[in-house]
């Protein structure tokens, strides 16, 4: 029987493009455990785990909370993936809508500033003595 060769945390980090620090963090929170921990505490990963860390990275990049990713991985299946992706699609659509509103507001501000600049008016700040609105 062929003995499986494990990857060190540094090798796995390089291949998966996930930092050592993040792998250790994921291990500590129980999201992604190494395939093997040696008696000296060194974490070792199997080649098949690259697919799992890739899924975690993609879901995390979509903004899905780590706790939700953890739940998803424990119930891994097409129905759960579909539900999560639909939910994330709605979240992204709301963010896009919000960004479009901000973009429109910025466009309006740009137009206002440009109109003011084109008016050619000479603006000056004039200081005046403070006059109270209410007298006691």
- Of the pLDDT bands very low, low, confident and very high (cuts 50, 70, 90), residue 82 is confident
121 — pLDDT class (breaks 50, 70, 90): low
Q: Are 48 and 83 in contact (CB under 8 A)?
A: no
Q: Is the pLDDT of residue 98 over 60?
A: yes
**Residue 122 has what pLDDT?**
62
Contact 72, 62 (CB under 8 A): no
Decide: 17 and 37 in contact? Cβ < 8 Å.
no
DSSP letters spanning 67-81: HHHHHHHHT-SHHHH
């Amino acid at each position: 029987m062929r003995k499986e060769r494990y990857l060190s945390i540094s090798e796995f980090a390089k291949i998966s493009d996930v930092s050592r620090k993040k792998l250790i963090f994921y291990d500590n929170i129980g999201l992604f455990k190494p395939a093997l921990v040696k008696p000296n505490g060194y974490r070792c990963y199997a080649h098949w785990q690259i697919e799992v860390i890739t899924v975690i990275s993609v879901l995390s990049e979509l903004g899905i909370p780590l706790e939700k990713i953890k739940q998803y991985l424990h119930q891994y299946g097409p129905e759960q993936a579909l539900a999560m992706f639909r939910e994330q699609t709605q979240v992204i659509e709301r963010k896009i809508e919000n960004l479009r509103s901000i973009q429109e507001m910025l466009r309006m501000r740009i137009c206002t500033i440009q109109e003011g600049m084109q008016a050619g008016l000479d603006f000056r700040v004039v200081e005046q003595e403070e006059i109270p609105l209410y007298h006691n």
